Amino acid sequence: MQRTLITGGAGFLGSHLCDRLVAEGHEVICMDNFITGSPKNVAHLIGNPHFHLIEHDVTNYIYVDGPLDYVLHFASPASPIDYLQLPIQTLKVGALGTHKALGLAKAKDARFLLASTSEVYGDPLVHPQPETYWGNVNPVGLRGVYDEAKRFAEAMTMAYHRYHGVETRIVRIFNTFGKRMRLDDGRALPTFMGQALQGHPLTVYGDGSQTRSFTYVKDTVEGILRLLQSDVVEPINIGNPDELTILDFAKEIIALTGSTSKIVFELLPEDDPLIRQPDISRARTLLGWQPQFSRAEGLRLTLDYVREQLRDLGDGE
């Protein structure tokens, strides 16, 4: 049985990876300090003999008894609200946390996978964004705490690969959605759905012409695991190239929910990227991967989850 450690395993993406790997027969060690993740995301796995939950801050020394085959480093605040409220913690987990996780992978002779992000491209001057693009990032801007943390983490990962010979993989994850997203995490999809279902106005920043590309979580998980099992060392984009404006996305959510909500506009946040679309040529060629879920199908599945969360809160429909 293969043993896998997932840092940030009680977060949105981490918990879906826990599900998938446990189902595939791995022994999974989920490590999280619950700063943005939640034990509720993996509660259904408690009691499974192949699943272990450890509360730990990975910016401190990481101890895991016994062998490890894989270390998947997903610990980090990942939404603008979270990393703007937790700037020091975000920088520390990108730097110290990545260092500690790489050190563990080296000690255990385990393959290491870094969860990086499309944010390393900043507000891109190249469109769509290929992995060869170096980015346009403001290192001293508000978003720099997340962007530069991930850029440093990529550099540290490649240093461990080149200097120590650690088997490493880097995935650059574009906007992903699905169940277990927090409704208050500030991302467009849960925010729009929550607002629409409660009959509140949908908040669009700027004029809404900025673009995003949304990937359903099952597609993202599949891409990550294909990369993990591949021999590709250079970064790989995992995302859906189906791009649309935020204004059109808000209108799509209103139509999907049957809401009568209006759209209101607010000032665009500092350094908010104006375009975001992955070039997935490398993923298609090297991993044989591309999204299988349409945005419409993914949104229908996610809407059921958001409705359930609002019912639990005693709000919504």
Q: Which residues are catalytic?
A: 146
SS3 category, 41:
helix
| Radius of gyration of the chain, Cα coordinates, nearest whole angstrom | 19
Q: How far is CA 277 from CA 188, 224, 245, 310, 316, in A?
A: 16, 18, 11, 31, 32
Beta carbons within 8 Å of 157's beta carbon, 6+ residues apart: 98, 102, 112, 114, 168, 170
- How far apart, in whole angstroms, are the C-alpha atoms of residue 116 and residue 132? 15
Residue count of the chain: 317
In degrees, rounded to 5, the angle at the alpha carbon of residue 114 between the alpha carbons of residues 192 and 303 is 20
Beta carbons within 8 Å of 277's beta carbon, 6+ residues apart: 127, 128, 129, 211, 213, 239, 241, 243
- How far apart, in whole angstroms, are the C-alpha atoms of residue 106 and residue 124? 34
CB 43 within 8 A of CB 205: no
- How far apart, in whole angstroms, are the C-alpha atoms of residue 202 and residue 210? 16
